[in-house]
Structure 1
Amino acid sequence: MNSNQPQKIQNPETTVPQTPQMNERDFVNDLLATEKYMTSSYSTALNEASNQAIYQDLATIFKETQDCQRNLYNLMFKHGWYALEQEENQKLDQAYQKFSGYQSQLPYTVQ
């Protein structure tokens, strides 16, 4: 393995027809993008809700939408349509050191 190339984490890809029409992968990808957009929008609405009852309703809908988004992601990953790249341990360690240094700058610490 070339050390300059990140290692992909991916299941074997389920093949779909390559036609001008949308295929199963296209539909699921479109649904996933929509759910991501909706969770972002609901998050904004939650931050701006001034009424507790509306906030609770939005929180319920947000959770359902987030769960749907996660299920679609899992489906795409299962079929090999969504890949991740494994990060090098050295880069993870550097990021951890960088951000753990910020902890001492916070006005309070979380126990």
Structure 2
Amino acid sequence: MMEKQPVQSMQIQNTETQVPKTPQMNDRDYLNDVLLTEKYLCTSYVHALQEASHQALYQDTKTVFDQTADHQRDLFNLMFNKGWYKLESEEPQKIQQTLQQFTQYAQQQFPK
């Protein structure tokens, strides 16, 4: 019997745009800082939405949340396109296995 060799995970990344490596912040540092801030703001708005007791306040907060989430996504795409954000690929079989695992869990926890 042949032993199955583990598949090396591949990084998904664009060619990295070079920035100066100096003690001062560069474009990558600034974008990373803003992206982290946008992620934090999105999390904070979710908490505010969950606890909004007034419908108009909820709607206003949701509008701002949607805009913030769009900005966060735009920043992610910009950083990914510049090669400053990379992802790891996964085997389709492992993705399917995880999906089945969570589907079974949900069916057990929330029967119809």
In structure 2, the partner of 1:104 is 107
In structure 1, the partner of 2:9 is 6
2:42 corresponds to which letter in structure 1?
T
In structure 2, the partner of 1:17 is 20
* 1:83-98 to 2 correspondences below 5 Å: 83-98=86-101
Distance in 2 separating the partners of 1:12 and 1:28: 17
Distance in 1 separating the partners of 2:107 and 2:31: 43
The Cα shift of 1:89 comes to 2.0
Gap regions ≥5 residues in structure 1:
none
The Cα shift of 1:104 comes to 2.6
Q: Does 1:74 align with 2:77?
A: yes
RMSD over aligned Cα atoms: 1.5
- Out of 45, 56, 60, the residue aligned to residue 59 of structure 2 is 56
**Segments of 4+ moved more than 3 angstroms:** 2-5
Across the two proteins, how many residue pairs are aligned to each other? 107
Gap regions ≥5 residues in structure 2:
none
**How many percent of aligned residue pairs carry the same amino acid?**
56
2:10 corresponds to which letter in structure 1?
Q
Distance in 2 separating the partners of 1:104 and 1:30: 40
Matched residue of 2:11: which SS? strand
